[in-house]
């Protein structure tokens, strides 16, 4: 049997599963029978540990009432800091540089309000045209609040192919007019990884503050934010980190910036020993906790106690290694089995630039996604013609990857997708 034939056989997939050092984590998750879930880069699955952690916080409310703030296994008053410590290793930060709080958009508003200070000719923010819309909306809003016209003061780096960005193009836009840069670590459509270290060094060479949106990288790829001297970062916790729908987000502030006043102040940014003095002069925390605002949403943070514990056990390097193996395997099968079906693999192929999902383009993408769901495979559609498939290291298998491509082959051969309308559902 030739090398390609071996790869195409289900026995090859099963052998990879037998060799998988992370395979036992699959048992930790609630996986629907006969369903292959490949949308973990939009919403990760519920784990039994996350469920247990949530029930634990509910139980402390039941037992202690108001005293749950300082009593029980996980006192609520310190939960955001505890979760920040548990997150720090995933982003290469020190514990005090990381806090679990807010949401992606709230944290971006907070950080831009704190670090964007138009001065002289430096009055513009640099972003990119492929970024997730919420980041752009927030940046436009912050410019408007400063009395600046977003049409003139928000600079968006152009993409040559509509899928990826060239770091040379980003650096070329770092002019003396730029006061702040906000970029994604991983582009949400194509899965391209940007070189954070290189871009941060280029920004700092020009005395520009730079921050990153880690929504599509945290829990999927390793980071070294402190070593790279990144100024700030923010993220959600419901994708690869499996914190649950609407889970509390997180942010990172480099310790060089401790003491910077939060742009949007609130009482939970206070120093803990002063918070309940109820004075009208804020004494802010001396770490990333200063950038908290209101009382933490405990029931939306609690699942992370269980989820992050799993990540500590699995190790982000092991997760990344399996993720690359899964996506390499999926692309090899697509190349071999779907050559005649006009699919384009639109994500970067090399490991240094590819995040945790495969991005396919096809003119019938919306229909194909609906047909996949009808075949119990959960993908993610991105208008106008994108299909994201995210085999997640902690709960997807190589056999599932093999089965996905086989079912997709049948869908295309039998033209099953033609029974569906080629437009997205209300929630894509």
Whether 134 has a binding-site annotation, put simply, is yes
Whether 105 has a binding-site annotation, put simply, is yes
Whether 30 has a binding-site annotation, put simply, is no
**Nearest CA to 231 among 262, 207, 257, 199?**
257
- The residue written with tokens 């980041």 in the block is 135
Residue 119 neighbours by CB distance under 10 Å? 7
Whether 123 has a binding-site annotation, put simply, is no
Whether 213 has a binding-site annotation, put simply, is yes
Whether 238 has a binding-site annotation, put simply, is yes
For strand 232-235 and strand 377-378, is the pairing parallel, antiparallel, or unpaired?
A: unpaired
Question: ∠ CA 332-242-137 to the nearest 5 degrees?
Answer: 90
Whether 267 has a binding-site annotation, put simply, is yes
Whether 132 has a binding-site annotation, put simply, is yes
Whether 104 has a binding-site annotation, put simply, is yes
**Nearest CA to 29 among 335, 244, 270?**
244
Whether 216 has a binding-site annotation, put simply, is yes
Question: ∠ CA 124-125-127 to the nearest 5 degrees?
Answer: 140
User: In sequence order, which residues have a C-beta less than 8 Å from that of residue 308 and are 6 or more positions away?
Assistant: 83, 86, 87, 90, 241
First to last CA, the chain: 41
Whether 98 has a binding-site annotation, put simply, is no
Q: Cα torsion at 419, 378, 136, 292 (round to 10°)? A: 150
- Residue positions in the annotated binding site for pyridoxal 5'-phosphate? 104-105, 132-135, 213, 216, 238, 267, 295
- Residue positions in the annotated binding site? 104-105, 132-135, 213, 216, 238, 267, 295
């Amino acid at each position: 049997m030739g090398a390609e034939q071996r790869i195409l056989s289900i026995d090859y997939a099963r052998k990879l599963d037998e060799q998988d050092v992370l395979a036992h984590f699959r048992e930790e998750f609630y996986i629907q029978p006969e369903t292959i879930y490949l949308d973990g880069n939009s919403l990760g699955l519920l784990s039994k540990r996350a469920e247990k952690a949530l029930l634990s916080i509910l139980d402390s409310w039941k037992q202690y009432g108001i005293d749950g703030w300082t009593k029980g296994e996980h006192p609520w008053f310190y939960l955001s800091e505890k979760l920040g410590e548990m997150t720090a290793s995933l982003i290469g930060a020190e514990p005090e540089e990381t806090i679990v709080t807010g949401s992606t958009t709230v944290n971006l508003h907070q950080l831009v309000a704190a670090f964007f200070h138009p001065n002289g000719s430096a009055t513009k923010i640099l972003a990119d045209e492929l970024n997730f819309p919420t980041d752009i909306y927030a940046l436009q809003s912050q410019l408007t609040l400063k009395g600046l016209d977003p049409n003139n003061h928000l600079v968006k780096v152009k993409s040559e192919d509509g899928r990826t960005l060239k770091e040379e193009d980003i650096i070329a836009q770092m002019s003396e007019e730029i006061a702040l840069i906000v970029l994604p670590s991983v582009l949400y459509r194509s899965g391209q990884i940007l070189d954070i270290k290189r871009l941060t060094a280029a920004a700092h060479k020009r005395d520009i503050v730079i921050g990153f949106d880690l929504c599509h990288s945290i829990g999927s790829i390793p980071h070294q934010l402190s070593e790279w001297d990144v100024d700030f970062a923010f993220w959600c916790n419901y994708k690869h980190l499996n914190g649950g729908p609407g889970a509390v987000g997180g942010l990172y502030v480099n310790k060089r910036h401790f003491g910077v006043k939060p742009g949007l102040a609130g009482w939970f940014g206070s120093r803990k020993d002063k918070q309940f003095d109820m004075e009208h002069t804020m004494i802010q925390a001396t770490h990333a906790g200063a950038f908290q605002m209101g009382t933490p949403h405990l029931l939306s943070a609690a699942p992370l106690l269980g989820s992050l514990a799993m990540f500590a056990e699995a190790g982000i390097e092991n997760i990344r290694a399996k993720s690359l193996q899964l996506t390499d395997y999926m692309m090899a099968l697509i190349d071999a089995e779907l050559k005649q079906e006009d699919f384009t693999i639109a994500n970067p192929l090399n490991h240094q630039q590819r995040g945790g999902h495969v991005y396919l383009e096809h003119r019938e993408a919306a229909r194909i996604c609906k047909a996949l769901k009808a075949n119990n495979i959960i993908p993610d559609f991105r208008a106008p013609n994108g299909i994201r498939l995210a085999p997640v290291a902690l709960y997807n298998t190589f056999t599932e990857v093999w089965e996905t491509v086989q079912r997709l082959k049948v869908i295309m051969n039998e033209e099953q997708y033609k029974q569906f309308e080629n437009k997205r559902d209300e929630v894509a």
